[in-house]
Each structure stands twice: as structure tokens, then as C-alpha cells.
Amino acid sequence: MTKAVVIKTKELSITDYINQDAIYKNIQSVLKDRTPQFITSVVSLTNANAALKEADKKSLLGACLTAAALNLPIAQSLGFAFIIPYKDRKSNTTVAQFQMGYKGFIQLAMNSGKFKTMNVSDVKEGEIKGIDRLSGEIGFEWADEGRDKLKTIGYVAYMKLINGFEKSFYMTVEELKEHGVRFSQTMKKGHGLWLDDFDSMAKKTVIKLLLSKYAPMTNEMARAHESDQAIITDEGYKYIDNRKETPEEIANEKEKKRVLEFIEKAKDLKQLANVQTAVQEWQDEEISKAYEDKAGSLEGENE
């Protein structure tokens, strides 16, 4: 009788996980002689990010392999591709999500050999000089001196193909923020790449939309579009960030925030006692810990 062997992936370090025979062979079959370099970059990525260390190893490796298959480096500082830890509340696990950087899209476009040029830029106040109603193209007059001090009002992506076709795509900062709120759960919660690095996310968005609307699609480009913001699983791509929150989830999150804020602001033990019933009812680790810590510190103040 065959006994099923269950590998508890969460307990292994990333190095141990990758060095398992089957996993290593799988990586080698995809990356061949690039394998050692790939493993080094995965290990240094997880060492630099505590949340990624906790992430489900399968999704982490899937995200890193997707980047490698597209020939994009995963070092966050380079901005070609990002591996983002994401807390999946449904399964109460952290998973790794693959995200394309705007430089990654430019790189893939240029690698296709079909593009003469491709660029993206922020647009400052006063730089838009009119719109050609016929072609839909926007005319720009770029500021030179003191440009950094001018307010950014939008972002524009531009491409020109070898065959002469050219196109630009412009979005205002407001439109981009709305896009971020609509497509990123983390931005709604007040953190994540959209808030930490709005400039890069805005550039990526205009480039991605320009390419998806007007550019010739190569296999790599199609794969990049499909895998962007996905959790790579055995069953295929899973788009966790685009999942709409249910009203119940929104309500729970808001109420949890209220409880935590109240605990944080409580000035004495008497005030803190007002939240005791709520703490018991929530049975939430974070809330209980915040309550105990606060009670401890308030007791300390009293002594």
C-alpha cells in the first residue's frame, strides 16, 4: 500500500524547500544553467522581507519562476518585477503575489523586436497644450527648468513601432488613484505599492494599458499581462488583489480598526474596561494582544 507523504511546506526554510529533489529538478528543467543564480536571488529576496519568509513557499516559488521565465530580475530595487506578500484572510495564510514593474513591461516590449521606442513620463502642470480631436493625441510642451517643483497632474506612456505606428496614452492623477482603489485591496487599506510608490504604479498602469490596447501581443507580453497581480498556483493564476470585499468583510475590518484605535487611545484602566466585552467577543489574536499590552502598560503607569 502506498503511503501518501505530506510535506509541510510552511515549516521549511526557502533554501530547504528549493533543495528538495523534486522541486530542484523542476526549477532546473525550466532555467537550466541559470538555476544557481536564480536560487541566490530567491534566498536574498526572502531574507530581505520578513513577510515573504512566512509566505507559502509554493506561491513564492511560482511567482519567482514566472519572473525568471520572462527573463526579469526579481530584485525589488531594480523595479522590473515585484514579489509581494499578501495575507489571504479566507485561508489565513500569507501568499506571494507576482507583480510586473513598469520597467518590466518596457523590457518585454523592447525584447520583442517590434518596437522602435517606448517611454513613460509624468506630466506636470502646464505641460498639456491641447488635444487633437481627430487622432485623439495630446500635445505636450515639456517644461525644463524647475520641472521638479511643478505639480504632477498625470502620466503618459508612448510607443513607436518599427512599422511607424505610434500611440500615446494619458491618465490624470485622479483617474490613476481611482484605478488603484478599484484594483488594489491594499491601497484601500492604506498601504501597499500604490501608496508607497505611486509614481511607479502610475507609470506601470499607463504603460500596461497602452500596450494592452494598442501593441502587438507577443507570447511573453501576454504571459506578463496574465500573471501580473496573480498568485501562481497549481490550478493556474488566482487574482487575489482584485477580489471584491464583501460588505461583511468591510464591516469587520472597520469595526476591528475602531476597537484597536479605542484600545490604543485608552487613557486609564477604567476607560479600557469599556472595550473588554468587545475584546472577548472578537476572539481575535491582534485585538487580544493589543488589549493585554495596553492593560499592562496602564497598570505599570499606576504603580
| Residue ranges binding another protein (CB under 8 A) | 178, 181-182, 188, 244-245, 247-248, 250-251, 254-255, 257-259, 262, 274-275, 277-278, 281-282
Q: Select 176 or 259, whichever has its Cβ closest to another protein.
A: 259
Residue 106 CB burial class (10 angstroms; 0-12, 13-18, ≥19)? buried
Residue with Cβ nearer another protein (147 or 289): 289
CB of 154 to another protein, least distance (A): 13
CA 259 from centre of chain? 28
Least CB distance to another protein at residue 138 (A): 17
Question: In terms of CB distance, is 147 or 265 closer to another protein?
Answer: 265
CA neighbor of 102 nearest in space, from 85, 123, 119:
119
Q: How far is CA 56 from the centre of its chain?
A: 16
> Nearest approach, Cβ of 141 to another protein (angstroms)?
23
Instruction: Indicate the residue among 16 and 255 with the shorter CB distance to another protein.
Output: 255
Of the chain, the end-to-end C-alpha distance in Å amounts to 65
Nearer Cβ to another protein, position 148 or 248?
A: 248
Shortest gap between Cβ of 250 and another protein (angstroms)? 4
Nearer to another protein, 187 or 215 (CB): 187
Q: Write down the least CB distance from residue 128 to another protein, Å.
A: 15
Question: Can you say how many angstroms the Cα of residue 30 is from the centroid of all Cα atoms in its chain?
Answer: 25
Q: How far is the CB of 258 from another protein (least distance, A)?
A: 5
Pick the closest to residue 221 from 105, 74, 117 (CA basis). 105
Q: How far apart (Å, rounded) are the C-alpha atoms in residues 303 and 300? A: 5
Q: Which residues pair with 85 in a beta bridge?
A: 96
Q: Parallel, antiparallel, or unpaired for β 138-140 and 128-131?
A: antiparallel
> Considering all CA atoms of the chain, what is the largest pairwise distance in Å, rounded to the nearest integer?
79
Q: Given the complex with another protein, which of 258 and 289 has the nearer CB atom? A: 258
Q: Least distance to another protein from the beta carbon of 63, Å? A: 27
Q: Any idea how long the chain is? A: 303
Distance CA 34, CA 41 (A): 11
Query: What is the nearest approach in angstroms of another protein to the Cβ of residue 281?
Result: 4
Distance CA 54, CA 44 (A): 14
Catalogue the long-range contacts made by 100-103 (C-beta closer than 8 Å, 24 or more residues apart): 100/72, 100/204, 100/208, 100/224, 100/227, 100/228, 101/72, 101/200, 101/204, 102/200, 102/203, 102/204, 102/207, 102/208, 103/78, 103/79
CB closer to another protein out of 222 and 273: 273
